[in-house]
Amino acid sequence: MPLVTTKEMFEKAYNGGYAIGAFNVNNMEIVQGITEAAKDLNAPLILQVSKGARAYANHTYLMKLVEAAIEETGLPICLHLDHGDSFELCKSCIDGGFTSVMIDKSGLPLEENIAITRQVVEYAHDHGVVVEAELGTLAGIEDEVNVSAEDSSYTRPEDVQEFVEKTGCDSLAIAIGTSHGAYKFKPGTKPQLRFDILEDVAARLPGFPIVLHGSSSVPQEFVKIINENGGNMPGAIGVPEDQLRQAASMAVCKINIDSDLRLAMTATIRQYFNEHPDHFDPRQYLKPAREAIKQMVAHKITDVLGCDGKA
Ligand code: G3H
Ligand code: 13P
Ligand code: ZN
Check if 52 has its Cβ closer than 6 Å to any atom of ligand 1.
yes
pLDDT tens digits, one per residue of 221-257:
999 999 999 999 999 999 999 999 999 999 999 999 9
CB-based contact 135:157 (threshold 8 Å):
no
Which residue, by CA, sits nearest to atom 3 of ligand 1? Answer: 142
Residue (of 235, 255, 258) closest to 247 by Cα position: 255
Handedness of CA 152, 251, 246, 84 (dihedral sign): negative
Q: How far is the CA of 191 from the centre of ligand 1 (A)?
A: 22
CATH class of residue range 7-305: alpha beta
Q: For residue 148, what pLDDT is reported?
A: 67
Distances (CA, A) of 261 to 4, 54, 171, 257, 292: 23, 18, 24, 7, 8
Over the stretch 100-132, which tens digit does the pLDDT of each residue have? 999 999 999 999 999 999 999 999 999 999 999
Q: What's the pLDDT at 151?
A: 63
In this structure, the residue with its CA closest to atom 3 of ligand 2 is 214
| The dihedral formed by the CA atoms of 279, 284, 290 and 293, expressed in degrees to the nearest 10 | -40
| CA-closest residue to ligand 1 atom 1 | 142
- CA atoms of 131 and 108, how far apart (whole Å): 18
150-159 residue pLDDT tens: 667 999 999 9
- Whether 199 lines ligand 1, by a CB cut-off of 6 Å, is no
Distance 253 CA to ligand 1 centre (A): 20
pLDDT one digit per residue (tens) for the chain, 311 residues? 899 999 999 999 999 999 999 999 999 999 999 999 999 999 999 999 999 999 999 999 999 999 999 999 999 999 999 999 999 999 999 999 999 999 999 999 999 999 999 999 999 999 999 999 999 988 666 655 666 666 679 999 999 999 999 999 999 999 999 999 999 999 999 999 999 999 999 999 999 999 999 999 999 999 999 999 999 999 999 999 999 999 999 999 999 999 999 999 999 999 999 999 999 999 999 999 999 999 999 999 999 999 999 99
CB count, 10 Å around CB of 221? 10
Other beta carbons within 10 Å of 138: 27
pLDDT at position 1 = 80
Give the phi and the psi of residue 61 in degrees, each rounded to 5. -60, -45
Distance, CA of 82 to CA of 102 (rounded, Å): 6
Residues 259 and 215: their CA atoms lie apart, in Å, by 9
For residue 60, how many other CB atoms are within 10 A of its CB?
10
Which conformational region is residue 257 in: left (phi greater than 0), alpha (psi within -120 to 50 degrees), or beta? Answer: beta
Sequence-distant (6+) residues with CB within 8 A of 196 are none
What pLDDT score was predicted for residue 141?
Answer: 64
pTM for the whole structure? 0.96
Specify whether 170 is catalytic.
Answer: no
